[in-house]
């Protein structure tokens, strides 16, 4: 039996309290009497008790540790080229469009709404080099109630003529951006829990940043105690170019280290083709790797050996890497991380002499779920605040309804227990199963009618006409 309380106005430490923190958890509540007793114990003014039906369950919200909000319009297109050509032909021309704030105003709301709807309660975003559009993205993420790390991208060399900054301007506008984002929540007292949006220093990658720029960004990150994100060892052509640009340095990871960009708050996307020396350095600096399997497959960058990263004790989270990755959904990233880990195993010599049993070294369902939640929280240094449902953490959660309208899951009562239903949701489910999405205890998205806009309601009405519409979503009177 599952229930949870949300308080709209209580300052008391109960249920999910006013600051969005989890105040209590009760296990094994099997009957109505005990349930009602608990509810009365934790009573608080204007409480909202949300009762989950038979097969509904809660899980921690998804954390996308690497996505390019600006590339969303290209998602699902342009998979015919490898990284550097792909950047030049498709990606840089699109990103250039954000020099116009009104372009950003058209795209970014769609991005944030859709990420929330697919269960991404926290996203680590790349915007573009443009200050005003990047500020707008930060404002929007906060307004929509998503947790987010927003990066104004830096690039001052090896970039197109119309999509490049001067060194001076890049550093100045980044500092202005950082101050702007830090100020966004200055009026909100810390009794309201953690902040929602953070700035993150974002040198695009070492190909498009001069040494001076990387050094300055490293210092800026230090000055404001900020996280850093970039790309590392994604593609062989990229790695070869790096060794041409930095012949005096032994490898790609050292390039970033040399410029003061590696610390325990650094997130590097991809990390596919790393040498053992680089892995050692990554572990030493305690940086995290954002594993972006959909992108790695889609633009043929390679297959990341996540088991090896985990065995080395390196922090790993999942990223969609829109639009190198075509899907905005972390569920999709989980599925591709699963396939990637099996490809690594099958390509290894061990495949012939190991039976398909429990010691099979591909990623397990608990591990995949961890990467999408707590693993991501560790990467962004919010593991004390989100990532699971320990008491005192903030309630970033998904209310999953396996029986939702048009659900892609088929549940056979006689066969299923909660573990199987959860597994089916992870591998077959989609946003139709996300009845509610909560960030810091506040509902920010969901499939039920109250959270829909007019267009969505209209769409559902039409669906119900086609379908006969007997479910509570298609037909609220049923």
Of 87 and 334, the one with the shorter C-beta distance to ligand GUN is 87
CA angle, corner 337, sides to 226 and 207, nearest 5?
A: 45
Minimum distance from residue 254 beta carbon to Zn ion (Å): 21
Q: What x/- string results for residues 101 through 140 when contact with ligand GUN is judged by CB under 6 A?
A: ----------------------------------------
366: CB partners within 8 A, 6+ apart: none
Of 81 and 428, the one with the shorter C-beta distance to ligand GUN is 81
Q: What is d(CA 244, CA 470) in angstroms, rounded to the nearest whole number?
A: 64
Minimum distance from residue 350 beta carbon to Zn ion (Å): 31
Q: What is the largest CA-CA distance in the chain?
A: 72
Minimum distance from residue 234 beta carbon to ligand GUN (Å): 5
Q: Can you say how many angstroms the Cα of residue 226 is from the centroid of all Cα atoms in its chain? A: 18
Q: What is d(CA 197, CA 372) in angstroms, rounded to the nearest whole number?
A: 19
205 binds, among Zn ion, ligand GUN, none (CB under 5 to 8 A by kind): ligand GUN
Of 269 and 282, the one with the shorter C-beta distance to ligand GUN is 269
Minimum distance from residue 349 beta carbon to Zn ion (Å): 32
115: CB partners within 8 A, 6+ apart: 64, 67, 123, 146, 328
Is beta strand 120-126 parallel, antiparallel or unpaired with respect to 197-199? unpaired
Token pair 């810091």: residue: 440
State yes or no: residue 78 binds ligand GUN (CB under 6 A). no
Of 321 and 431, the one with the shorter C-beta distance to Zn ion is 321
State yes or no: residue 205 binds ligand GUN (CB under 6 A). yes
Helix and strand numbers (H, E) in the chain are: 17, 16
293: CB partners within 8 A, 6+ apart: 303, 304, 318, 325, 333, 336, 337, 339, 340
Minimum distance from residue 74 beta carbon to Zn ion (Å): 12
> Nearest-CA neighbor of 447 among 463, 458, 433?
433
Of 298 and 331, the one with the shorter C-beta distance to ligand GUN is 298
Of 83 and 274, the one with the shorter C-beta distance to ligand GUN is 83
Q: What is d(CA 229, CA 332) in angstroms, rounded to the nearest whole number?
A: 22
Minimum distance from residue 336 beta carbon to Zn ion (Å): 15
Pull the structure tokens for residue 18: 């006013």
Backbone φ, ψ for residue 51 (5° rounding)? -100, 125
> Nearest-CA neighbor of 393 among 91, 5, 135, 17?
17
Backbone φ, ψ for residue 108 (5° rounding)? -60, -35
State yes or no: residue 321 binds ligand GUN (CB under 6 A). yes
Minimum distance from residue 208 beta carbon to ligand GUN (Å): 7
State yes or no: residue 64 binds ligand GUN (CB under 6 A). no
Minimum distance from residue 170 beta carbon to ligand GUN (Å): 15
Minimum distance from residue 413 beta carbon to ligand GUN (Å): 43
Of 50 and 340, the one with the shorter C-beta distance to ligand GUN is 340
State yes or no: residue 165 binds ligand GUN (CB under 6 A). no
- Given candidates 14, 204, 335, 440, which one binds ligand GUN under the rule CB under 6 A? 204
State yes or no: residue 324 binds ligand GUN (CB under 6 A). yes
Q: What x/- string results for residues 234 through 253 when contact with ligand GUN is judged by CB under 6 A?
A: x-------------------
87 binds, among Zn ion, ligand GUN, none (CB under 5 to 8 A by kind): ligand GUN
63 binds, among Zn ion, ligand GUN, none (CB under 5 to 8 A by kind): none
Of 75 and 426, the one with the shorter C-beta distance to ligand GUN is 75
Is beta strand 228-232 parallel, antiparallel or unpaired with respect to 266-270? parallel
Of 156 and 321, the one with the shorter C-beta distance to Zn ion is 321
Of 23 and 322, the one with the shorter C-beta distance to ligand GUN is 322
Which residues in the 259-318 window bind ligand GUN by CB under 6 A? 295
What residues line the site for Zn ion (CB under 5 A)? 269, 321
21 binds, among ligand GUN, Zn ion, none (CB under 5 to 8 A by kind): none
Minimum distance from residue 332 beta carbon to ligand GUN (Å): 16
Strand partners, 124: 149
- Given candidates 117, 130, 135, 231, which one binds ligand GUN under the rule CB under 6 A? 231
> Nearest-CA neighbor of 83 among 240, 253, 276?
240
> Nearest-CA neighbor of 293 among 332, 266, 328, 237?
332
State yes or no: residue 91 binds ligand GUN (CB under 6 A). yes
> Nearest-CA neighbor of 7 among 398, 386, 395, 445?
395
Strands of 245-302, DSSP E? 266-270, 288-291
- Provide the sign of the torsion angle of the four alpha carbons 126, 132, 135, 141, taken in this order: negative
Of 173 and 229, the one with the shorter C-beta distance to ligand GUN is 229
Minimum distance from residue 231 beta carbon to Zn ion (Å): 5
Residue ranges in contact with ligand GUN by CB under 6 A: 68, 83, 87, 91, 204-205, 231, 234, 295, 321, 324
């Amino acid at each position: 039996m599952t229930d949870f309380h949300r308080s709209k106005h209580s300052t008391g430490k109960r249920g999910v309290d006013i600051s969005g923190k989890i105040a209590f958890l009760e296990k094994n509540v099997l009957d109505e009497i005990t349930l009602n007793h608990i509810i009365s114990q934790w009573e608080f003014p204007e409480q909202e008790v949300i009762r989950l039906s038979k097969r509904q369950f809660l899980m921690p919200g998804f954390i996308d540790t690497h996505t390019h909000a600006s590339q969303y319009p290209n998602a699902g297109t342009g998979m015919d080229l490898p990284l550097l050509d792909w950047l030049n032909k498709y990606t840089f021309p699109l990103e250039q469009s954000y020099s116009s704030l009104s372009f950003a105003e058209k795209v970014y709301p769609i991005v944030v709404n859709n990420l929330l709807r697919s269960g991404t309660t926290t996203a680590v975003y790349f915007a573009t080099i443009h200050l005003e559009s990047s500020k707008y993205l930060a404002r929007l993420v906060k307004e929509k109630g998503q947790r987010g790390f927003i990066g104004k991208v830096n690039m001052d060399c090896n970039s197109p003529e119309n999509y490049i900054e001067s060194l001076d301007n890049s550093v100045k506008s980044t500092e202005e951006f950082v101050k702007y984002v830090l100020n966004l929540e200055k009026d909100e007292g810390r009794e309201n829990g953690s902040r929602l949006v953070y700035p993150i220093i974002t040198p695009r990658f070492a190909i498009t940043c001069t040494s001076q720029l990387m050094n300055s960004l490293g210092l800026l990150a230090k000055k404001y105690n900020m996280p850093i994100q970039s790309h590392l060892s994604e593609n062989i052509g990229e790695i070869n170019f790096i060794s041409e640009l930095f012949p005096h340095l032994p490898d790609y990871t050292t390039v970033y280290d040399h410029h003061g960009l590696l610390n325990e708050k650094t997130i590097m996307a991809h990390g596919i083709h790393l040498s053992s020396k680089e892995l050692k350095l990554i572990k030493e600096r305690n940086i995290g790797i954002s594993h972006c399997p959909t992108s790695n497959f889609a633009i043929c960058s390679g297959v990341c050996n996540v088991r090896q990263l985990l065995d080395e004790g390196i922090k790993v989270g999942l990223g969609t890497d829109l639009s190198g990755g075509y899907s905005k959904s972390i569920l999709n990233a989980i599925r591709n991380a699963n396939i990637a880990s099996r490809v690594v195993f099958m390509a290894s010599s061990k495949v012939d002499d190991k039976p398909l049993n429990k010691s099979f070294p591909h990623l397990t369902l608990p591990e995949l779920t961890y990467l999408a939640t707590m693993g991501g929280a560790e990467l962004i240094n919010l593991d004390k605040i989100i990532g699971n449902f320990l008491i005192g953490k903030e309630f970033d959660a998904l209310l999953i309804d396996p029986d939702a309208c048009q659900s892609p899951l088929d549940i056979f009562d006689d066969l299923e227990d909660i573990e199987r239903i959860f597994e089916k949701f992870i591998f077959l489910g989609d946003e139709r199963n996300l009845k509610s999405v909560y960030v810091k205890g506040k509902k920010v998205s969901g499939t039920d009618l109250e959270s829909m806009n007019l267009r969505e309601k209209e769409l559902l009405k039409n669906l119900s006409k086609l379908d006969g519409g007997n479910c509570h979503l298609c037909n609220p009177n049923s």
